[in-house]
Chains A and B, each alone.
Chain A
Amino acid sequence: MSKILAIAKAEYLIAVRSKAFIIGIILMPVLMGGGLAVQYFMRGHVDKTTRHCAIVDRSGFLYPILEEANQRREANVVFESDEQGNQKQVKPSFVLEKYYETDPSQTEIELSKQVRRGKLFAFLIIDQDILNPNNVATESGHSLAYHTKTPTFRELPDWLRSNVNQAVMNKRFESANLDRKLVQTLSKRVRFTSLGLVKVSEDGKVEKARKDSELVTFGVPFACMMLLFVMVMMTAPTLLNQVLEEKMQKISEVLISSVTPFQLLMGKLIGIVMTALTLSVLYLGGAYFGTVRFGVADIVAPSTYAWFFLFLVMALFIYGSIFSAIGAACSEIKDSQNLMTPAMIFIMIPFFAFGTIIQSPTSLFSVLVSLFPPATPMIMMLRIAMPPGPPAWQILLSVVLTGLFTIACVAAAGKVFRIGILSQGQAPSLGRLFKWIVSK
C-alpha cells in the first residue's frame, strides 16, 4: 500500500506541477466566465463607425418619419451619459440620406456603385405600394429592399425594418379610421410564466411556486456533466501517453522490478484521482462561493456536489484503467490511437444522448443510458442535477452497477498491464486483449 501511495504521490506532484495543470486552473474559469468579462470590458470599445444609408422613398411619406426616428436614436441610444454627466458614445451613428431618383431603372446600379466605392454603407428602397397589405411584392419583387455588401452588420437593417413597419402600421390604422393606441392595447400579447410546484410546509404554510429558470433546468445539469467530462478528459488520456512513454523508454522495466504491475496501475489511478479532485475542489469551491455571493446558493443542492465527487472518482477509475491498459498494450503511439477510438466512443455517449435526456429525463431511453455503466457517471449526474431528479432506486442501482464495472475495469486493466507492460512489437488486436484479460 505504501508503494501505491508513493507512486500516487509522485504522479500527483508531476501532474500538479505541470504547465497543463496550471493552464487548466486558469483556463477553465476564463472559458466559463470569459464571455461575460470580455463583453464587460469591451463595452466601451464597440464599433462606433458612422453608417451612411441612402433611402429611396418611393412611398413618399416614410423618409421624414425615419429621419425623425433617427434623431431620437441619436439622442437616446447612441450616446449615454456616465455618472459625471459626460456624454459618451456607445453605439454607431446612422446618417440617412434621401436619394432623389432621376431614372428609376438606374437607381440600384448607381447606388450599388456608391456602396462599392465606400461612400455609402447600404441603401434602402421603399416600394410605393408599401401601404397595401395585400400587395406583398411589386415589379422589383420586394416591398422593402435593403442592399449592402456587409450583411453581417445587423443593427442598421434591424432598426430600419422595425421603424418602417411601425410607421406603415400606424398609417394603415389611420387610413382604416382605427385608433392606433387602442389597437396596440388590444393586440398586446399575453404573458406566459413557467413555474415549479407549490409546496406545503409542515406547519401548513403554503410556499409559493418558484419560477423555473433556465439556469436551474438546463445550466446546472449541463455544467455538472461538462465539468465531469472535462475532468475525465484532462486526466485519464494522459495516463495512456505516460504509460506508453514509460514503456517506450524502458522505465517500466525498472519500475516493475520494484513494484507489481497492479501497484503501478493503482498508484497511477490514485494519482489522477487526486489531481482531478484538486481541480474539481478549486472549480466547485469557486462556483459555490460564487452562488453564495450572489445569493443563489440554492440553485445547486448540496447533495449534487456529493454525487459529483462520487461519479467523478468512478469515472476516473473506469477511464483511467482503460487508457492505461491501452498504453501498456501498445509499443507505439500510432497503435494506441487505433485502440483509443472505442474508448473515446464510450466517453462521447453523453454528448450524443444529453439533448434527448434533457427533454425527457424519465423516458426508457434516458433510464437505460443512465444505467449503462460507461455512461452512468456523466448521464446519471445530468439526471440528478435536473429537477426533480431520478427515483432513488435508479441512482442506487446505477451506483452499484458502475461500482462493479469499475472493479471489473481495474481488474482487467491489471491483467493487460501485467502482460503488456513488458511486451514488445505489434499492438494486440481487441480480440487478443480480451484473451489477455481472461487469461489466468
Chain B
Amino acid sequence: MIAENIPAVRLTRVSKTYGSHLAVNNLSLTVPKGSIYGFIGPNGSGKTTTIRMILHILLADSGSIEVLGREGTRAANDRIGYLPEERGLYKKMKVMGLLEYYGSLKGMGRSEAKREAGQWLERLGLGDWSNKKIEALSKGMAQKIQFISTVIAKPELIILDEPFSGLDPVNLESLRESILQLREDGSTIIFSTHDMAMAERMCDSIFMIYKGNKVLDGNLNQIQAEHGQDAIRLRTEGGPSILEEIPGVDEIRDLGRFQEVKLSGDQNEFLKELANRTRVYHFEQTRPSLHDIFVRIANPKEESSENE
C-alpha cells in the first residue's frame, strides 16, 4: 500500500545551468503514479532539460530527483520509455528488425519483442509494413514506429517529448487512444506539447515552465479557476466599437467574428445594456482556455501593454 503513494517522479529544488544560462531554476514537481501529466511551455523554456534530468541523461547541478522511488534512475532503466523530441530511425533497417533491436536494448528477449511489436503494429494499423524498410514509410508511420519502440517494453513511466508534432488528425487520434490505453494499463505518462487543446483534452495535470521557472502546476480545473476570470464570448451586429461604450467592460479581445469581453460588473446588467444598443447573436460565458493562460504567461509584455 505504501508503494502506491510513491510518486512516479519527484523533483525537489532542482537547478541546472548551461554556462551562464539558467535553464531550470529551483524546480519542485511531483508526478503521481497513474496520471497523465502535461509539460507545457514555449520553446527554450526548459522542458526538454527537465525531461533529460528526469531521465538522468543530464545531471542536475543541485536538488534531488527521484524516479519510480529511486534516485539516480537512468534513462537506461528498463522501466522507463522515452520518446525524444528530435528522433530518427535507421533508414535501412526493416520495421520488425528495428523494433526487435530497440526491444533488446530495453532488455527484452527476441521472441517477446517480436510478439509485442506485432501486436502494436496491428493496433496502429501498420500490420502490413513489418517487412518494409523504414525509408519506405511515410512520416506519420515512422512516428508511430518511434512510439512503438518507446512503449514496446511496457514501461511503468512513459515520457513523450512532443509526441504529436507533425501527425495528421487520423494518426493523432490513434496515438491519443494508445496513450490513454497505456494509462488504463497502469503506466504513468508525461508528455510535453505545444498543442494546448490536446493537453486540455488529455491531461489530468499540467505543469508549465517558463524561462526555467515553474509558473503553473496542478489539476487543470484548479488552474483554470486560479488563472483569469471567466470571459464572455459574444457576437453582435454592432461589433467591437459598441462594446467600448458600455460601463463595466475591462477588456475587449477582438477575435474577428467574435469578441471576448472581461467584465468587472454584473453580466446580466451588461447583457441588458448590450441588448439596448445592438442585436445580440451569441452570448456565452467561457472559462479561459489553457492556450489563453499559456499566452498570458509566456507573453506577459503583450498582455500588459494591452491592459494599458
Taking Cβ atoms with an 8 Å cutoff, the residues of A that contact B are 2-3, 6-7, 10, 246, 249-251, 253-260, 263, 422
Asked if B75 contacts A254 (CB within 8 A), the reply is no
Query: A24 CA to B87 CA in the complex, in Å?
Result: 33
In the complex, whether B107 has a CB less than 8 A from a CB of chain A is: yes
Q: From residue B27, how far is it (CB to closest CB) to chain A in Å?
A: 20
In the complex, whether B188 has a CB less than 8 A from a CB of chain A is: no
User: Which A residues lie within 8 Å of B85 (CB)?
Assistant: 253
User: Which B residues lie within 8 Å of A3 (CB)?
Assistant: 76, 104-105, 107
In the complex, whether B308 has a CB less than 8 A from a CB of chain A is: no
Select A6's contact among B83, B87, B90, B104, beta carbons within 8 Å: B104
Residue of B nearest to A9 (CB): B104
What is the 8 Å Cβ interface bit string for chain B, positions 56-100, against chain A (1 contact, 0 not)? Answer: 010000000000000000111000111111111111000000000
Select A253's contact among B74, B80, B87, B149, beta carbons within 8 Å: B87
User: Which B residues lie within 8 Å of A257 (CB)?
Assistant: 55, 57, 75, 80-84, 150
Asked if A6 contacts B101 (CB within 8 A), the reply is yes
Asked if B88 contacts A253 (CB within 8 A), the reply is yes
In the complex, whether B233 has a CB less than 8 A from a CB of chain A is: no
In the complex, whether B102 has a CB less than 8 A from a CB of chain A is: yes
Asked if B90 contacts A251 (CB within 8 A), the reply is yes
Query: A422 CA to B55 CA in the complex, in Å?
Result: 13
Asked if B57 contacts A258 (CB within 8 A), the reply is no
Query: A258 CA to B99 CA in the complex, in Å?
Result: 13
Asked if B86 contacts A6 (CB within 8 A), the reply is no
Taking Cβ atoms with an 8 Å cutoff, the residues of B that contact A are 52, 55, 57, 74-76, 80-91, 101-102, 104-107, 146, 149-150
Asked if B88 contacts A260 (CB within 8 A), the reply is no
Asked if B89 contacts A251 (CB within 8 A), the reply is yes
> Which of B83, B88, B104, B106 has the largest number of chain A CB atoms within 10 A?
B88
Q: From residue A322, how far is it (CB to closest CB) to chain B in Å?
A: 24
Asked if B102 contacts A258 (CB within 8 A), the reply is yes
Asked if B88 contacts A250 (CB within 8 A), the reply is yes
Asked if B75 contacts A2 (CB within 8 A), the reply is no
Q: From residue B80, how far is it (CB to closest CB) to chain A in Å?
A: 8
User: Which B residues lie within 8 Å of A2 (CB)?
Assistant: 104, 107
Asked if B76 contacts A258 (CB within 8 A), the reply is yes
User: Which B residues lie within 8 Å of A250 (CB)?
Assistant: 84, 86-88
Select B88's contact among A10, A249, A258, A422, beta carbons within 8 Å: A249
User: Which A residues lie within 8 Å of B149 (CB)?
Assistant: 254
Residue of A nearest to B56 (CB): A260
Query: A256 CA to B159 CA in the complex, in Å?
Result: 14
User: Which B residues lie within 8 Å of A258 (CB)?
Assistant: 75-76, 82, 102, 105-106
User: Which A residues lie within 8 Å of B83 (CB)?
Assistant: 254, 257
User: Which A residues lie within 8 Å of B107 (CB)?
Assistant: 2-3
Asked if A253 contacts B76 (CB within 8 A), the reply is no
Query: A2 CA to B55 CA in the complex, in Å?
Result: 20
Query: A246 CA to B88 CA in the complex, in Å?
Result: 8
Asked if B101 contacts A253 (CB within 8 A), the reply is no
User: Which A residues lie within 8 Å of B82 (CB)?
Assistant: 257-258
User: Which A residues lie within 8 Å of B76 (CB)?
Assistant: 3, 258-260, 263
> Which of B55, B101, B146 has the largest number of chain A CB atoms within 10 A?
B101
Query: A260 CA to B80 CA in the complex, in Å?
Result: 13
User: Which B residues lie within 8 Å of A260 (CB)?
Assistant: 74-76
Q: From residue A21, how far is it (CB to closest CB) to chain B in Å?
A: 15
Asked if A253 contacts B105 (CB within 8 A), the reply is no
Query: A249 CA to B87 CA in the complex, in Å?
Result: 7
Asked if B101 contacts A10 (CB within 8 A), the reply is yes
**Between-chain CB contacts (< 8 Å), 14 pairs:** A10-B101, A249-B89, A249-B91, A250-B84, A251-B88, A251-B90, A254-B102, A254-B146, A254-B149, A255-B105, A256-B75, A258-B82, A258-B105, A260-B74
Q: From residue A421, how far is it (CB to closest CB) to chain B in Å?
A: 9
Query: A263 CA to B85 CA in the complex, in Å?
Result: 22
> Which of A7, A253, A255, A258 has the largest number of chain B CB atoms within 10 A?
A258
User: Which A residues lie within 8 Å of B74 (CB)?
Assistant: 260
Residue of B nearest to A440 (CB): B59
Q: From residue A48, how far is it (CB to closest CB) to chain B in Å?
A: 51
Q: From residue A369, how far is it (CB to closest CB) to chain B in Å?
A: 41
User: Which B residues lie within 8 Å of A255 (CB)?
Assistant: 105
User: Which A residues lie within 8 Å of B150 (CB)?
Assistant: 257
Asked if A253 contacts B84 (CB within 8 A), the reply is yes
User: Which A residues lie within 8 Å of B106 (CB)?
Assistant: 258
> Which 8 residue pairs across A and B have the least CB separation, nearest first?
A249-B88, A257-B82, A250-B88, A253-B84, A258-B105, A250-B86, A6-B104, A251-B88
Q: From residue B66, how far is it (CB to closest CB) to chain A in Å?
A: 19
Query: A258 CA to B89 CA in the complex, in Å?
Result: 14
Q: From residue A28, how far is it (CB to closest CB) to chain B in Å?
A: 25
